[in-house]
């Protein structure tokens, strides 16, 4: 991290992601002060005793006052409200960044609030998480050796971009840049669609099974495939509403391919089935 010691870092939303960022930055000793704000008084009361922040503010305005960097880590559908409030406040030269899992929706909310994307706004998304949520799940090591994708826009200030990259690197993350539209398309395919399949499969099986008896016979494959169906339902609702177009494209492509597999099974087409499974096995073996 090369741009020097940071004065005040403010984290808005002290859940799994915001709390982990705040805690990691606090432990790094890089910031003069890490201040947090959360709409939930329970999270506000726990954040200091859990060592997540140095102090909490009772409201958003108090939290962002004098901040050098503001990290927004609220659920995607809450971003719009927080950004609209921030646009009414005097933020000085503060760099603003976010961790929203979809980027188009957050940038749309920024435009709605500020009229245009300010040069000191840096959209970001850490590819790290867990099935846990809330301030008690905050973990300073959460981002170590994980990718963080920043999706700068044409007008993004390079100094602000460098500063946000530096903060993630302090937490041990591997920062990459990506075009915003590419981010939402890639994540729809590699993260959103798999979560949809896991949620849907478990829901289908659960609704067919008396007293969930069927899960007694579930083996490792089922466990591996459906682990992500234990993820936070509210967060995932937000993601599908926020990334609707890209998710639908990905889902349509998958539905077409699944229909072909169905036909192959129906017609006893061994060659087609073997083709799909062999290609998938070889593709899967290319990443660890
Ligand atoms: P979380 O539920 O653990 O935390 C969200 C926090 O925001 C909660 O403490 C909640 O009280 C607070 N909050 C809600 N509305 C608020 C408001 N208006 N003002 C202030 N605080 C408010 O969720 P999380 O997993 O930390 O997710 C936060 C963001 O990170 C989301 O935008 C999500 O898309 C993104 N993200 C999550 C993951 C993941 O795997 N969990 C991974 C990458 C990015």
**Ligand 1 pocket member 235 (CB < 6 A):** yes
Average of pLDDT values for 169-183? 98
**Contact criterion met (CB below 8 Å) for 142 and 116:** no
Q: Ligand 1 centroid to 269 CA: how many Å?
A: 46
Q: How far is the CA of 163 from the centre of ligand 1 (A)?
A: 22
Q: Which atom of ligand 1 is nearest to the CA of 137?
A: 3
Least confident of 26-30, 127-131, 247-251: 127-131
pLDDT one-digit tens code per residue, 194-222:
999 999 999 998 888 776 777 887 888 88
Q: What is the pLDDT of residue 211?
A: 66
> Mean pLDDT in the chain?
95
* Residue linked to tokens 């798999």: 194
Is residue 2 over pLDDT 50? Answer: no
- CB of 36 sitting under 6 A from ligand 1: no
β-bridge partners, 34: 9
Give the pLDDT confidence score for residue 3 in this predicted structure: 45
Q: Is 124 in the pocket of ligand 1 (CB under 6 A)?
A: no
Mind listing the domains of the chain with CATH numbers? 6-178 (3.40.50.720), 183-284 (1.10.3660.10)
- Asked whether residue 1 carries a pLDDT value surpassing 50, the answer given is no
Average pLDDT over residues 80-108: 97
Antiparallel, parallel or unpaired: β 121-122 and 124-126: unpaired
CA of 12 to the centre of ligand 1 (A): 9
CA–CA distance, 190 with 39 (Å, rounded to integer): 31
Sign of CA dihedral 179, 16, 173, 72: positive
- C-alpha span between 221 and 173 (Å, rounded): 30
Q: Has the ipTM of the complex gone over 0.90?
A: yes
Determine the angle formed by the axes of helices 244-266 and 270-284, rounding to 10 degrees. 140
DSSP 115: S
């Amino acid at each position: 991290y090369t741009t020097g010691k940071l004065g005040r870092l403010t984290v808005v939303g002290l859940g799994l992601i915001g709390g982990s960022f705040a805690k990691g930055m606090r432990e790094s000793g890089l910031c003069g002060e890490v201040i947090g704000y959360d709409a939930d008084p329970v999270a506000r009361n726990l954040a200091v005793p859990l060592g997540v922040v140095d102090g909490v503010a009772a409201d958003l305005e108090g939290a962002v006052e004098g901040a050098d960097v503001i990290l927004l880590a609220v659920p995607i559908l809450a971003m719009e409200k927080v950004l609209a409030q921030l646009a009414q406040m005097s933020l000085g030269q503060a760099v603003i960044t976010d961790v929203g899992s979809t980027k188009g929706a957050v940038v749309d909310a920024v435009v709605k609030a500020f009229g245009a994307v300010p040069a000191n706004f840096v959209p970001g998304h850490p590819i790290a998480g867990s099935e846990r949520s809330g301030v008690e799940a905050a973990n300073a090591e959460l981002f170590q050796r994980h990718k963080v994708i920043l999706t700068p826009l044409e007008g993004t200030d390079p100094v602000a971009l460098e500063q946000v990259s530096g903060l993630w690197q302090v937490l041990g993350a591997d920062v990459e840049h990506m075009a915003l539209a590419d981010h939402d398309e890639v994540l729809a395919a590699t993260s959103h669609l798999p979560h949809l399949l896991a949620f849907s499969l478990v829901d289908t099986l659960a609704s067919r099974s008396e007293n969930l008896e069927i899960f007694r016979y579930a083996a490792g494959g089922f466990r591996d495939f459906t682990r992500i169906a234990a993820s936070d339902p509210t967060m995932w609702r937000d993601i599908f509403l926020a990334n609707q177009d890209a998710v639908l494209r990905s889902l349509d492509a998958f539905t077409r391919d699944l229909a072909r597999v169905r036909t192959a099974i129906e017609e006893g087409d061994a060659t087609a089935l073997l083709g799909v499974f062999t290609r998938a096995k070889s593709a899967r073996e290319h990443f660890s």
